[in-house]
């Protein structure tokens, strides 16, 4: 088994190295074959691991690969922990990665950086696997930053575009803000327990759940709350939760395959994964869980709203991703980790599908991303259309599709949870469903239906994308539609994740437990949807989109006119970018300039250093006047000195 795990992580790494370093010699075909082979094998093995853990009766695997450093009693290691949670992540990551690799052959066909691109995405696969397979926080942090690095490189893949190299810097820095929280959270745990190994931390927490910590003064804070909140800051950065979400929409500057792989299906879900992985820690802190819930619910609703006013096809899907990540995070906040992870799992398929479908449209139109210059594409690109339609139905949660199960489980679980915050979150999530349906069908209608607003030149060459592009779409559409029917029972409401301790829940009865109690099978769950408001909100969203974008486009003016202020707020994305760029970045630079000028040039260099040099010079200049070179001056001074000494002597004898 250990050999298999080594192979799973090392194959993509090796493939990446070959494609990256030997790119010029192996050529384009060589680069894509070697990476597809590496990631493909890794994918097959991952599925085998998943099978072995889920059905083969395999125990959880936890072992050390090597010791990175030993400092006193603290042993910092690289090691693997593979339980069902990890295995599901491994299978998802490698499967989506494989699809994206195949798709890339078509999408990047004419790009001069072909080999480099394959090297990066294979490297990403390696880093992401190291992240989910880590058995300790050190390795997690390594991989956390490594996926951030690859994300940085890929957002800036087209490095001659100013917007791309702005976006990648922004992504890295915003993530670094989150990473600071994560690092401090790691420091809290390391200093409290002297270990970074998950299992040992959980054992120690179990032994002393009431442990406290002093941050300033004598105030005692709950250790679990402090650690969980700090770590969650890291998750907010990586999983793009408000207010650290600003980098994700801009990350769309990267090529579309990586938007699908990194910025939708896998890397951005790392935060969700981490909270689930650390469930024994988060369970100890109601405060932290409440924060998680509220942040998630706010992100889910308000980011979805922004999606309504976007015209760039990728940005609509990006805001949709933000919103869906919010759903996952909200689930974590009510201890419904299984539901959150399950939504992560289904979302990976249909969101990757939507992005790749969008990419298919984009290449068909020669890199046109503005939906106002699309329309009526359904008949030109039937496969892309149908697969994207299926993905959309999954996203908005039409009963039977995968997204329905995962999202409804979350909404129900939050609805069953007690407390004012949970009620607020519930309504945000429920309303979010309407928004999701509205922006999703707005996209579909604008792109595939209605009037053809195409550039005539593009229209002349319009045709369905090649097979390397459509095949991944079809392969992703299958799980998007079907996987919920098969896996919902055990994974979301069953004890799949609890049986081997992948996820631990302390509360007697969570909202998700109540969903599970009422669960009688997928058909019953679908029937139940008929009596909740959620399904009707979905249908209403579709209907409104149909009315405004197909039936009566003229109504749009009348609807948006009174909402103009709201629209402006949404178009400015609530002003976060303005605040960060003008406020923090601009302020930071102004401060830095001030320090460089006042602190460095005036005070230290001008005042202290050159000032003391000048002072020495002045004293010397003053003293120099004493050395005139005239003998009578010196003689005169000697006489006066002698006189002074004598008078001193006389005065002292007289008055002694």
Partner 1 sequence: MFDGWLLSLIIWLPILGGAAVLAIGRRSEAAVRQVATGFAGVTFLLSLALWFAFEPGGGMQFVEKRAWVPTFDIHYHLGVDGISMPLVVLTAFATLLVVIAGRTGIQYRPAQYMGAFLIMEGLMIGVFAALDAILFYVFWEAMLVPMFLLIGIWGGANRIYATIKFFLYTFLGSVLMLIAFLYLRAQAGSFGILDFHGLAIGLEAQILIFLALLAAFAVKVPMWPVHTWLPDAHTEAPTGGSVILAAITLKMGAYGFLRFALPITPEASQELAWLVIAMSLIAIVYIGLVAMVQEDMKRLIAYSSIAHMGFATLGFFVIFQAGLGADAGDGALMAMTGGYVQLISHGFISAALFLCVGVLYDRMHTRNIADYGGVVNRMPIFGAFFVVFAMANAGLPGTSGFVGEFLVILGSFQASFWYALIAGLTLIVGAAYSLWLVKRVVFGPVGNDRVAALQDLDGREFGLLAVLALLVLGLGLYPQALIGMAEPTLVELMNDVSAALSAAR
Q: Is 649 in the site for partner 1 (CB under 8 A)?
A: no
Residue 57 three-state SS = coil
Of residues 48 through 67, those in contact with partner 1 by CB under 8 A are: 66-67
Q: Is 604 in the site for partner 1 (CB under 8 A)?
A: yes
Q: Is 25 in the site for partner 1 (CB under 8 A)?
A: no
H-type alpha helices, 369-419: 382-396, 402-416
Preceding omega of 243 cis (within 30 degrees of 0)? yes
Q: What angle do CA 631, 634, 636 make, to 5 degrees?
A: 105
Q: Is 10 in the site for partner 1 (CB under 8 A)?
A: no
Q: Name which position in 55, 57, 110, 162 contacts partner 1 (CB under 8 A).
A: 162
Distance between CA atoms of 571 and 91, rounded to whole angstroms?
A: 38
Cβ 208 to partner 1, closest distance in Å? Answer: 15
For residue 475, give both structure tokens: 């392969």
State phi, psi for 136 to the nearest 5 degrees: -155, 165
| Alpha-carbon torsion angle 30, 33, 34, 39, nearest 10 | 160
Q: Is 74 in the site for partner 1 (CB under 8 A)?
A: yes
Q: Is 179 in the site for partner 1 (CB under 8 A)?
A: yes
Q: Is 73 in the site for partner 1 (CB under 8 A)?
A: yes
Distance between CA atoms of 232 and 422, rounded to whole angstroms?
A: 18
Residue 185 three-state SS = helix
Query: Which range in 164-172, 277-285, 298-306, 381-389 contacts partner 1 by CB under 8 A?
Result: 164-172
For residues 71 and 623, which CB has a smaller minimum distance to partner 1 in the complex? 71
For residues 591 and 646, which CB has a smaller minimum distance to partner 1 in the complex? 591
Q: Name which position in 3, 110, 207, 215 contacts partner 1 (CB under 8 A).
A: 215
Helix axes 270-277, 84-107, angle to 10 degrees: 170
Dihedral sign computed on CA atoms, order 118, 119, 122, 127 = negative
Q: Is 243 in the site for partner 1 (CB under 8 A)?
A: no
Q: Is 72 in the site for partner 1 (CB under 8 A)?
A: yes
The binding track of 570-589 with respect to partner 1, each residue x by CB under 8 A or -, is: ------------------xx
The binding track of 110-149 with respect to partner 1, each residue x by CB under 8 A or -, is: -------------------------------xx--xx--x
For residues 382 and 586, which CB has a smaller minimum distance to partner 1 in the complex? 586
For residues 134 and 354, which CB has a smaller minimum distance to partner 1 in the complex? 134
Q: Is 458 in the site for partner 1 (CB under 8 A)?
A: no
Q: Is 451 in the site for partner 1 (CB under 8 A)?
A: no
Distance between CA atoms of 540 and 558, rounded to whole angstroms?
A: 19
Query: Which range in 287-295, 417-425, 591-599, 636-644 contacts partner 1 by CB under 8 A?
Result: 591-599
Question: Is beta strand 74-82 parallel, antiparallel or unpaired with respect to 212-214?
Answer: unpaired
CB atoms within 10 A of CB 647: 10
Distance between CA atoms of 223 and 225, rounded to whole angstroms?
A: 5
Query: What number of CA atoms fall less than 13 Å from residue 344's CA on the CB side?
Result: 33
CA 347 and chain centroid, separation: 14
Query: Which range in 182-190, 330-338, 353-361, 414-422 contacts partner 1 by CB under 8 A?
Result: 182-190
Q: Which residues bind partner 1 (CB under 8 A)?
A: 66-74, 141-142, 145-146, 149, 152-153, 156, 159-160, 162, 165-166, 169, 172-173, 176-177, 179-180, 183-184, 186-188, 190-191, 194, 215-216, 588-589, 591-593, 595-596, 599-600, 604-605, 608-609, 613
């Amino acid at each position: 088994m250990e050999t298999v795990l080594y192979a799973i992580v090392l194959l993509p790494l090796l493939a990446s190295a070959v494609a990256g370093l030997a790119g010029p010699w192996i050529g384009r075909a060589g680069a894509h074959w070697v990476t597809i082979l590496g990631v493909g094998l890794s994918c097959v093995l991952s599925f085998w691991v998943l099978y072995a853990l889920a059905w083969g009766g395999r125990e959880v695997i936890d072992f050390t690969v090597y010791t990175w450093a030993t400092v006193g009693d603290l042993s910092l290691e690289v090691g693997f922990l593979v339980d069902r949670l990890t295995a599901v992540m491994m299978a998802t990551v490698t499967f989506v990665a494989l699809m994206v690799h195949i798709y890339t052959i078509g999408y990047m066909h004419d790009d001069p950086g072909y080999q480099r691109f394959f090297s990066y995405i294979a490297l990403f696969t390696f880093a992401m696997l190291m992240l989910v397979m880590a058995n300790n926080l050190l390795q997690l942090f390594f991989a956390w930053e490594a996926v951030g690095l690859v994300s940085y490189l890929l957002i800036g893949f087209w490095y001659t575009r100013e917007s791309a190299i702005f976006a990648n810097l922004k992504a890295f820095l915003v993530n670094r803000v989150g990473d600071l929280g994560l690092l401090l959270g790691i420091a809290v745990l390391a200093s409290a327990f002297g270990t970074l190994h998950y299992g040992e931390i959980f054992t120690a927490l179990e032994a002393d759940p009431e442990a406290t910590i002093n941050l300033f003064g004598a105030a005692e804070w709950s250790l679990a709350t402090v650690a969980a909140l700090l770590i969650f800051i890291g998750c907010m950065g990586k999983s793009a939760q408000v207010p650290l979400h600003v980098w994700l929409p801009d990350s769309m500057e990267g090529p579309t395959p990586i938007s699908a792989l990194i910025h939708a299906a896998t890397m951005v879900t790392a935060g969700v994964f981490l909270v689930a992985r650390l469930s024994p820690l988060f369970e100890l802190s109601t405060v932290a869980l409440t924060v998680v819930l509220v942040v998630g619910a706010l992100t889910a609703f308000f980011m979805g709203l922004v999606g309504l006013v976007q015209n760039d096809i990728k940005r609509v899907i990006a805001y949709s991703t933000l919103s869906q990540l919010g759903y996952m995070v909200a689930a974590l906040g009510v201890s419904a980790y299984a539901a959150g992870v399950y939504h992560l799992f289904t979302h990976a398929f249909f969101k990757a599908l939507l992005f790749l479908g969008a990419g298919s449209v984009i290449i068909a139109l020669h890199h046109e991303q503005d939906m106002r210059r699309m329309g009526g594409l359904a008949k030109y690109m039937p496969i892309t259309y149908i697969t994207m339609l299926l993905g959309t139905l999954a996203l908005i949660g039409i009963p039977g599709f995968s997204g329905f199960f995962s999202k409804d489980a979350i909404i129900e679980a939050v609805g069953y949870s007690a407390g004012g915050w949970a009620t607020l979150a519930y309504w945000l999530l429920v309303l979010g469903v309407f928004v999701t349906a509205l922006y999703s069908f707005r996209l579909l209608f604008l792109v595939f239906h209605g009037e053809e607003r195409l550039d005539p030149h593009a229209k002349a060459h319009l045709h369905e994308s090649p097979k390397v592009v459509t095949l991944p779409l079809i392969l992703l559409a299958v799980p998007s539609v079907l996987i919920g029917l098969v896996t919902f029972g055990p994974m979301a409401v069953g004890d799949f994740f609890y049986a081997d301790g992948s996820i631990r829940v302390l509360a007697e009865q969570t909202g998700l437990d109540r969903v599970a109690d009422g669960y009688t099978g997928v058909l019953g769950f679908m029937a139940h949807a008929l009596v909740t408001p959620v399904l009707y909100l979905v249908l209403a969203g579709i209907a409104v989109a149909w009315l405004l974008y197909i039936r009566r486009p003229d109504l749009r003016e009348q609807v948006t006119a009174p909402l103009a202020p709201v629209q402006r707020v949404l178009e400015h994305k609530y002003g976060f970018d303005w605040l960060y760029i003008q406020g923090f970045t601009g302020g930071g630079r102004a401060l830095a300039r001030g320090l460089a000028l006042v602190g460095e040039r005036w005070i230290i260099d001008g005042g202290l250093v050159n000032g003391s040099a000048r002072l020495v010079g002045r004293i010397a200049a003053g003293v120099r006047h004493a050395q005139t070179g005239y003998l009578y001056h010196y003689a005169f001074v000697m006489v006066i000195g002698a006189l002074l000494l004598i008078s001193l002597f006389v005065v002292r004898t007289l008055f002694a």
